[in-house]
Structure formats: C-alpha cells, structure tokens
Amino acid sequence: MCGILAIHHVEGDIQAFKPKALHLSKQIRHRGPDWSGNCIRKQSILCHERLAIVGVDSGAQPLVSDDGKLVLTVNGEIYNHIALRESLKGQYEFKTHSDCEVILYLYREHGPACADMLDGMFSWVLYDENKDKVVAARDPIGITTLYQGFSSKSPETVYFASELKALHPVCDKIIAFPPGHFFDSETGETTRYFNPSWWDENRIPSNPIDYKLLRTTLENSVRKRLMAEVPYGVLLSGGLDSSLIASIAARETKKLANALEDSSEEARTITAWPRLHSFAIGLPGSPDLVAARNVAKFLGTSHHEHTFTVDEGLDAVRDVIYHLETFDVTTIRASTPMYLLSRKIKAQGVKMVLSGEGSDEIFGGYLYFGNAPSAADFHSECVRRVKNLHLSDCLRANKSTMAWGLEARVPFLDKEFLEVALNIDPKEKMYTAERKEKYILRKAFDTSDDPTAQPYLPKEILWRQKEQFSDGVGYSWIDALKDTAELQISDDQMANPKAEWGDDVPQTKEAYLYRLMFDELFPPQCASTVMRWIPKAEWGCPADPSGRYQAGHIAAIN
C-alpha cells in the first residue's frame, strides 16, 4: 500500500501551489518510503508516496492512461487485476505491471461504478481530463484509510488523503470517507456501490452452517492475499484468528513451488518464498508469546519473537496517537504493541504481513457477545461492528503498520468470505455451555474426526479462549496505562472537561489522557473523524474494554 494526496480545483496558480502540495504529501511519506510522484492536470494535482509490493520495477504512480487523459493515484492491492485485464473489451497499452493500472481502463469502460468490480483493499482518486473531474473510491469495508477535506477559503476545492495530517493544515472540515462508496466531483455526490446481501442488520439470515464452505472460502482468501513480489509474513499472536491465518498461509506457501509451474492466476501473481515468516510481540513471558511460539513450532514457520518493556510502550503512546489519528482507548491499547512490532518487522526486510482483524466482528468473538439476548440481536451487533471496522480495527491495522512502511492484509474481510460468514444463521454462532466464542470457525478447521487429515492447529490453540490483543501481550501493559493516567489526570480535570469536547466527554482518566494528547497533535476539525468504542452496557459489558473484565473471561479462569 501507499500514501495518496489529491487536490481538485485548486484556486489560483497551480504551479505556485505545487510546493505546498508536495509538503502535504511528505507528511505521509512513512506510508510510501520507496518513491514519490506527482502529476498536474489543469487545476488538479495528484501525489503519491509509494510502497512497492507488486510491479516493483515499473509500478510508480500516479498512473497515466495510454492517451494521457486519465491520471490515477492508488493506495491498495487489487487481487483480481489479471482477470480484470482479461475482461476488458478494448485494447489498451499497459505501461506497468502494477495491479492498480487496470482501474484506469475499467473506469473508461464502466465509469465510477467500476469500484464494485475490484476485489481487494483500496483507496484511489482518478482525474478525468476530458470532463475535468475527479472520482474517488474506497474499498467495501475500509481496510485502507481515506479522508476527504474542504476549506471555507476555497469552497470549490476538494481534497483527499490517506491520513489527516496531510489535510488539516489546509482544510477546516474533514470527514472519514465512507467505505464502499465513490465520489464524483461532476455531481458532487457520494454514492454507495457496495450493497451485499448482509448489509441490512435487521435482516436475520437463516442459512445452515456449511463447515467446508466456510473453510475453503477462508483458504481462498488467504491464497489471493499472498500476491506479492517481496518477502511476506504473518502477525502471530497465538490466538485463534492469527493462528488460523498463519496455518493456511504456511500450507499455501508450501504449495506455491508447484503452483508456479502452471498458468493459474495465483501462479502469475505470487512470488514463492521458501519458508513463511511469523512475528510475535509481548511483554516477557506474556500469554501471546508462549502461544505464538507453540503455533510457530507446530507450523514450522521461521519465527521471530520480540519483547517490549512497559516503559518502551508508554514512551511510544504519543507517537502511536500521532500515527493512528485517534483517541479511542481500545485502539490505542492494541496499536502500541503492533506499532512497535511493525518497526521490528520492517527492519528484518519484510514489507507485507497477513493479520487476523475482522473475525471477532464476523463471528461475535468478543466475550460480551455471550450476553446477547437473542440470535437476532447477536447478528445485528455483528453487522454493526463490521460496518464500523474502518474506525477501529482496520484503522489500527493499517496505520500501526504503515507508520513504518509495512503493509497489512486482512483475509477475514474478503468480500466472498463475508458473504458466506455473515449469511449463516446466528443461532449457530450463539454461545452455549458446549459452544464457546467463534465455535463454528473453530469447528470448520477441526480435523480431529479424520485421522488421515493434517491438523491445522494444535487442539489447545484451536480451542484457546479469546484474549484481546492488548491483554494477550501481557496484562501489566493495560495496568501500566491506567496507572499512568491516574497519576497525570486529576479528579478536577475529570469533573471539568473541555467545553469544546461537547458531548464527547472521556469517561475514564485513561481516555482523558489520550484525548489531551490528540488535541496537542491535531486541530479541532480532526476530532469528528474519531469514533470511540462505547461498551454495550445493556448486555452487561463493563466500561473497561479489556477482555479480562468480561464475565465470560473471569468465569473461565476461575
């Protein structure tokens, strides 16, 4: 992935404005340390900070169509790009091996709605010189980040960027661009293109569970995400989700040597590496490190275990907030270890990793789901949380890694997998005395009843209870954050929050501390893009988001 900046209908001399645009783009260069590019057409400028994963030698951006009339800047990966190229009706002169170049000609043949044809994660802005307009689009779930900005000083100008820090110096209004939508400056409208069957959270599905379909669809999702021309790995916490992704990736990596001999699409888009690399982080002796070590040994990965101290984590919190551009407690807690690990991974020469985000939302894996009053409520909460992933876990996975120019891919959020998993009767997902959280996902990969099958995971991992990532790295990490906030935020501050916060008032000292840090780093117009996780109190959910405060977790360890 990369960092993008696009500004349309710049007032005044566009060449005189160019140095300002390049300075704004430089603020997100950490997302694309490999190369920088820009292109001006009329009163529009598109900038790109590149992280080269596919088409390494020839995929520099912005990309320009064969007639020079379309210009494109993209942050993302298009997994079905070869099939899309072959589906084009016209004959086009492709200039690169980039997976993103096909968007230019899809747009030429299908218009802005071509976004719905893309299988991948992406945010892009395309300039159409014939119509002097821009079209912007974001992937269905919002795995990649994208913001849209406006300025009261130049009402006709519209701005787009991968991160807030490239917009707030020139925009006094900024919004998080909605996932699954495209914007057309010709009409000024933002239109939803992603309309899956599961989108209505009040429509309760009734499909029976098909374990084989669930398993093979996730395997397909992992397989397509191994499209890369650079070394890749997996983030391995030792929990169910990351361990399953690691298991599938390890199997697929072993298959690639044979696959490369045929002419399948996978063979044409994947570079085989002799051994899968896995990466784990935690405080010394943390539950995640122990579990990840066991998984890596079982899978035979080249495992890299990293530790951090509480002080190192605390020292990084302000930088984490700067890169994440949020003040949400849950996100900051989990992002800090991920941020530290990403730096280590990049230093080891890896540029792409697979990660396990999305599973807990899809299957109701958070322990408070055990208190859902009905299957319908359970399902509605799953869909609601998937819809908001772009403001929480997707944001964390994207920005924690991209802070160091590392790309994270999330197989659980594949469109096809979502279509299968979110159309299962929620009664199958409900907790019972015999069924712990994410039972059907565990069961789909449980081969214990087939003595000839190679197990995906050890039984103790496949059926390990859910830990929040921020808990699994070591419980003292959360305790240290809360203790630090207790020392720095007074009772008087809690009783007298800032008037400009309005109704969005922090409820804990830890939340208060993070909001103060955010305000020091970002101007007020950025705060409206942040969503704080609100506990579902009516389900008996504690105010503290830590998994270990959930009744289900307490009962399991007592």
Which among 213, 208, 263 has a CA at the least distance from the CA of 427? 208
121 CB contacts (<8 Å, ≥6 apart)?
A: 1, 76, 77, 139, 143, 144, 409, 410, 413
Residue ranges at the known binding site for L-glutamine: 99
Q: Please work out, in degrees rounded to the nearest 5, the angle formed at the alpha carbon of residue 281 by the alpha carbons of 278 and 283.
A: 155
Rounded Cα–Cα distance for residues 296 and 284 (Å): 17
Cβ(338)–Cβ(403) under 8 Å? no
Residue ranges at the known binding site: 99, 235, 281, 355-356
Beta strands, E only, 162-301: 173-176, 181-184, 189-192, 232-235, 277-282
The DSSP secondary structure of 275-307, one letter per residue, reads: S-EEEEEESTT-HHHHHHHHHHHHHT-EEEEEE
- The token pair at 141 is 């779930």
| Annotated catalytic residue, options 2, 47, 394, 526 | 2
- For the chain, the straight-line distance linking the first and the last C-alpha, in angstroms and rounded, comes to 44
Cβ(443)–Cβ(437) under 8 Å? no
**370: amino acid identity, one letter:** G
HSE toward the beta carbon, residue 481, CA cutoff 13 A: 27
CB contact burial 527-554 (16+ within 10 A = b; e otherwise): bebbbbeebeeeeebeebbbbbbbebbe
Number of other residues whose CB lies within 10 A of the CB of residue 109 = 13
**411: amino acid identity, one letter:** P
Q: Is 285 left (phi over 0), alpha (psi -120 to 50) or beta?
A: left
Q: Give the DSSP H/E element, type plus range, for residue 245.
A: helix 240-259
293 CB contacts (<8 Å, ≥6 apart)?
A: 238, 280, 303, 305
Residue ranges at the known binding site for ATP: 235, 281, 355-356
**378: amino acid identity, one letter:** F
Q: Is 2 a catalytic residue?
A: yes
Rounded Cα–Cα distance for residues 288 and 304 (Å): 13
- The token pair at 252 is 């697929």
Rounded Cα–Cα distance for residues 318 and 311 (Å): 13
Torsion sign (Cα): 427, 431, 433, 436: positive
Which among 397, 461, 463 has a CA at the least distance from the CA of 436? 463
Residues that are catalytic: 2
